Amino acid sequence: MTETNDWQILLYYKYAYIENAAQFAYNHLKLCKKLGIKGRILVADEGINGTIGGPKEITEIYMQLMHADPLFEDMEFKTSTGPADTFKKIFVRYRKELVTLEYPEMIDPNVHGGKYIEPTQLKDLYDSNEDFVIIDMRNDYEAQIGKFKNAVTLPMQNFKELPELVDEQLMKFKDKKVITYCTGGIRCEKASSVLKKKGFANVYQLHGGVHVFGQEYPDNYWEGKLYVFDERVTIPINTPENRKIIAKCLHCGIAWDDYINCINAECNKQIIVCPDCRIKWNDGCSDDCSKKPRNAAPVSA
């Protein structure tokens, strides 16, 4: 028998109208503290989104409690295993939107979103000769280190820029079969809604995002790694024999895909730098930044 201290990590979201969401967030924080759940949960009028973890038995209780609430009875939890203490604290925050888009019109993904396409259907599309366009709805620094084969990527720093980028770069795909994807699906609910509102005729969103697809097909449909918003920064998707590096070292251009933060605390840019160049450039992104000592106090106005 092997004893494991590994945690169970849960990823989940659901768009559903929560009445008095700020109060809900407050009560939910108390519940999580009582259980000993750690991680980050966002609550908005439009729904809930969490990345949390804890010992398996505790996360199981959490899922049961959530499923007992009629609002979340069909909530899909993606589970994975991570080292104990993957998250140090618990945050439950109320926000205006789950994913900030600030779209001028009302968007209810349950009404306006694209149809779900399951991982197996996407795999079949790749294996067939059918014409389709697959669009990465994540930010550029995420797509830079990993994406679906032949995916269209956008020079997007922030999801709010999406509607403008659709106008500028995607309208040529308006009449095509379009598949959108993101990490876990939550951004696609809104991104696919935007496409449909802008007149796209045939819009699908990858159900469960890259996370679920990668668990089912760790083959060569995905290229590179997956960017994640926690301490891990990146995780592999493909089986070892199907892995390749699609990014380059900022300084010398060799194939490399590990992010570091620029040594200059005032800059702190997320950069891809190979081990040799880390030494040569003192973990800086530029000549200027390389000369600044680590943790130099930010200049305050």
Q: Which residues are catalytic?
A: 182
Strands (E), 199-269: 202-206, 222-227, 234-236, 259-261
CB closer to Zn ion out of 171 and 254 = 254
- In angstroms, the CA 79 to CA 11 distance is 6
* Binding footprint of Zn ion, residue count (CB under 5 A): 11
* Alpha helices, H only, the chain: 21-35, 56-67, 109-112, 119-127, 140-143, 162-165, 186-197, 209-216, 275-280, 287-290
Between residue 169 and residue 208, which ones bind Zn ion under the rule CB under 5 A? none
Q: How far is the CB of 240 from Zn ion (least distance, A)?
A: 23
How many Å separate Cα 114 from the centre of its chain? Answer: 18
Q: What share of the chain is helix, strand, coil (3-state, %, to 5)?
A: 30, 25, 45
Beta carbon of residue 225, minimum distance to Zn ion (angstroms, whole number): 18
CB of residue 265 vs Zn ion: minimum separation in angstroms? 9
User: What mask, x for binding Zn ion by CB under 5 A, covers residues 223 to 252?
Assistant: --------------------------x-xx
Closest separation in Å from C-beta 231 to Zn ion: 21
Rounded CA separation 25/38 (Å): 15
16 versus 265: smaller Cβ distance to Zn ion:
265
Residues 258-287 that bind Zn ion (CB under 5 A): 262, 264, 267, 269, 274, 277, 285
Which residues contribute to the site for Zn ion (CB under 5 A)?
249, 251-252, 262, 264, 267, 269, 274, 277, 285, 289
